[in-house]
Chain A
């Protein structure tokens, strides 16, 4: 046998020259150049990606960070019972309090040796917004504080905010009745005197949305709660449904035309535009089932439909990646199919399932289009839900819907709020991705 094969090989030319491997030949040089070139392409591609990421981060932070601060006057007011009664007896009660504020402000300026700054009531009304009603509301609620010094942090109007952040020019105010260029002089003097300062606006994070005329008071808090309830619905529904469907398809279902058809459809559903799920939700959950509009429950149901294919695909992929030898081993010692799946396959697939689920949730958290159609966009979330049922059923907004609503409002001050909202949304998304990584690490450590 060996003789026969040797005879078939062509003989080597006895006169051939031995090649040196010290000098590289043309072919090798060309190949090396191509490889270098490819590496440069790769580095360039990564560079472009990193540049855009940095540019995006920079622009988001630059435009969004001012939303987290507000310009406020910190002022100590000592209101006596007589002053309170007198103000309450007046016809224009908030005006009376505004007057008291102006007096106190002038006193403080005088005391600090900045007496040359003259604050007149009309200007203060424009600069400080509705300071009068704020003080009145405080004293009405806390009458026991009368006669004691109380420190107020009163926010200035959003226009002052924007002027100080460089977002508003004097020229644009020439015709404005909300704020005049002369008012800005007072603002400048107050800033110099250290009366007007920049403080963190906690209301932006914890507060509710305001109307279109009050950008300064707008907060994302209510829509964070709305998003939270939506995610709760998505998690509670899509994780068990998705995992059960994947396990059945991957481990139990027979391979036939029907399962192939289902498989193809699941892959296609993952690619369906989210607005299609939105209109489906509108038709099925709101118009047919009669669930309330703008409710996080409906939003959650729609997002569940959208997230399910993602979860099923990632769960099936992680089930597939469990080596078949583990299944054989379990069956070989007499485990039933279900025992082999639940005792051995599922624990090994868990990190992948969790990662897929959290990525699916993160995707759902940022999804806006389906929410447009079920009425969550445009709804002004002015209040917090007061319980789980109210949280699910009462109309609310969600983070991306709120951001969209703000961006669509005409007042440029809301634009800044929209950027700020995006920062909060991104923080949540980053936190969820970090959680996915931590969970994967944790589960993978169990060999």
Chain B
């Protein structure tokens, strides 16, 4: 794997680093023990898929990585999650700063009810990434190009983002997420509200995004996990059952529960 990204020159060529490292993570919703003893190392410049039946905790775990669970009053988290060796639950960490570094794309496309331009420009604006309008324009264009939607919207940047089709909206949301220059991109079932054509466009995009980011994607579709990811983690009832190369998970799973799930016997 060759590193083409200038921002990440410290990466050694041909080697994948550990980007996110979770150790013994527990999450409770009130008295409900939603995540049990999850330890996982997620690599940089890789697409990692979280699969598992509904309610298995994969989304909950994903939301721990950018501390979105902080916004839920009853959620409580124990254990350690490090990004680049820094504990993200350290008292000194401001979740706002963390979320600029760890972008998120949600299940349902949720563009702001503003123009396409403003949707993408909002993040860079609040983080002060652009000194002037010209720089902001450039950031917006780059982000929209990375979101593979530039050609479709370049002539109508003033049009409302909510007026786009579902697939376009989701790619706009991805563009919005990458505009703040994150290092990790979390995607919570990004294609579940999209039709097959839009899905394939977003999947293509995810494949491109892995050149620059560490992408973690939660998905219900095993085919999707097989298509886009290099690593797959199988969650069941709050436990991380198996985590390995995607190819291995789908061809030669070690755990009987993983095998049952991918062959359609449970889920």
Contact B113 A447 (CB under 8 A): yes
How far apart are the CA atoms of A328 and B173 in the complex, in Å?
12
Smallest CB gap from A325: residue in B:
B110
Contact A348 B110 (CB under 8 A): no
Determine whether A276 belongs to the interface, using a CB cutoff of 8 Å to chain B: no
Contacts of B19 in A (CB 8 A): none
Determine whether B103 belongs to the interface, using a CB cutoff of 8 Å to chain A: yes
A-contacting residues, B115-171, CB 8 Å: 122-123, 126-127, 160, 162-163
How far apart are the CA atoms of A343 and B121 in the complex, in Å?
13
Determine whether A211 belongs to the interface, using a CB cutoff of 8 Å to chain B: no
Contact of A329 with B111 at beta-carbon distance under 8 Å, contacts A255-B73, A334-B100, A335-B96 already known: yes
Determine whether A382 belongs to the interface, using a CB cutoff of 8 Å to chain B: no
Determine whether A283 belongs to the interface, using a CB cutoff of 8 Å to chain B: no
Contacts of B160 in A (CB 8 A): 447
Contacts of A335 in B (CB 8 A): 96, 122-123, 126
Contacts of B122 in A (CB 8 A): 330, 333, 335, 343
Determine whether B34 belongs to the interface, using a CB cutoff of 8 Å to chain A: no
How far apart are the CA atoms of A333 and B68 in the complex, in Å?
11
Contacts of B180 in A (CB 8 A): 333-334
Contacts of B163 in A (CB 8 A): 447
Say how far B230's CB is from chain A's closest CB, in angstroms: 24
Contact B96 A334 (CB under 8 A): yes
Interface string of B95-114 (1 = CB under 8 A from A): 01101100111101011110
Contacts of A343 in B (CB 8 A): 122, 126
Determine whether A257 belongs to the interface, using a CB cutoff of 8 Å to chain B: no
Smallest CB gap from A255: residue in B:
B73
A-contacting residues, B158-198, CB 8 Å: 160, 162-163, 173, 176-177, 179-180
Smallest CB gap from A335: residue in B:
B126
Say how far A153's CB is from chain B's closest CB, in angstroms: 58
How far apart are the CA atoms of A247 and B174 in the complex, in Å?
29
Say how far B81's CB is from chain A's closest CB, in angstroms: 17
Determine whether B66 belongs to the interface, using a CB cutoff of 8 Å to chain A: yes
Smallest CB gap from B162: residue in A:
A447
Say how far B168's CB is from chain A's closest CB, in angstroms: 15
Contact B71 A331 (CB under 8 A): yes
Determine whether A147 belongs to the interface, using a CB cutoff of 8 Å to chain B: no
Contacts of B123 in A (CB 8 A): 333-335
Say how far A3's CB is from chain B's closest CB, in angstroms: 16
How far apart are the CA atoms of A447 and B159 in the complex, in Å?
10
Contact of A329 with B112 at beta-carbon distance under 8 Å, contacts A334-B127, A334-B180 already known: yes
Contact A334 B126 (CB under 8 A): yes
Contact A334 B108 (CB under 8 A): no
Contact of A332 among B106, B108, B127 (CB under 8 A): B106
How far apart are the CA atoms of A425 and B82 in the complex, in Å?
66
Interface string of A16-35 (1 = CB under 8 A from B): 00000000000000000000
Say how far B114's CB is from chain A's closest CB, in angstroms: 8
Q: How large is the interface on B (under 10, 10 to 19, 20 to 34, 35 or more residues)?
A: 20 to 34
Contacts of B96 in A (CB 8 A): 334-336
Smallest CB gap from B118: residue in A:
A343
Contact of A328 with B73 at beta-carbon distance under 8 Å, contacts A333-B177, A335-B126, A343-B122 already known: no
How far apart are the CA atoms of A65 and B113 in the complex, in Å?
48
Contacts of B112 in A (CB 8 A): 326, 329-330, 344
Contact of A328 with B106 at beta-carbon distance under 8 Å, contacts A333-B180, A335-B126 already known: yes
Contact of B113 among A332, A334, A348 (CB under 8 A): A348
Contacts of B106 in A (CB 8 A): 325, 328-329, 332
Contacts of A325 in B (CB 8 A): 106, 108, 110
Contact of A332 with B99 at beta-carbon distance under 8 Å, contacts A326-B110, A339-B126, A447-B113 already known: yes
Contact of A254 with B68 at beta-carbon distance under 8 Å, contacts A325-B110, A329-B112 already known: no
B-contacting residues, A307-351, CB 8 Å: 323, 325-336, 339, 343-344, 348
Contact of B110 among A254, A328, A336, A446 (CB under 8 A): A328
Contact B110 A329 (CB under 8 A): yes
Say how far B164's CB is from chain A's closest CB, in angstroms: 12
Say how far A189's CB is from chain B's closest CB, in angstroms: 72
Say how far B96's CB is from chain A's closest CB, in angstroms: 5
Contacts of A344 in B (CB 8 A): 112
How far apart are the CA atoms of A33 and B176 in the complex, in Å?
56
Say how far A349's CB is from chain B's closest CB, in angstroms: 12
Say how far A329's CB is from chain B's closest CB, in angstroms: 4
Contacts of A328 in B (CB 8 A): 68, 104, 106, 110
How far apart are the CA atoms of A329 and B170 in the complex, in Å?
12
How far apart are the CA atoms of A247 and B165 in the complex, in Å?
32
Interface string of A244-258 (1 = CB under 8 A from B): 000000000011000
Contacts of B126 in A (CB 8 A): 333-335, 339, 343
Smallest CB gap from B127: residue in A:
A334
Smallest CB gap from B124: residue in A:
A333
Contact A332 B162 (CB under 8 A): no
How far apart are the CA atoms of A325 and B66 in the complex, in Å?
16
How far apart are the CA atoms of A446 and B113 in the complex, in Å?
8
How far apart are the CA atoms of A323 and B179 in the complex, in Å?
23
How far apart are the CA atoms of A344 and B173 in the complex, in Å?
15
5 additional A-B pairs beyond A334-B99, A336-B96, beta carbons within 8 Å, are A326-B112, A329-B111, A333-B126, A334-B123, A335-B122
CB pairs A–B below 8 angstroms (21 shown): A323-B110, A329-B106, A329-B110, A329-B173, A329-B176, A331-B99, A332-B99, A332-B105, A332-B106, A332-B177, A333-B100, A333-B126, A333-B177, A334-B96, A334-B97, A334-B100, A334-B123, A334-B126, A336-B96, A446-B113, A447-B162
Q: Which 4 A-B pairs have the closest CB atoms?
A: A334-B100, A325-B110, A333-B123, A332-B104
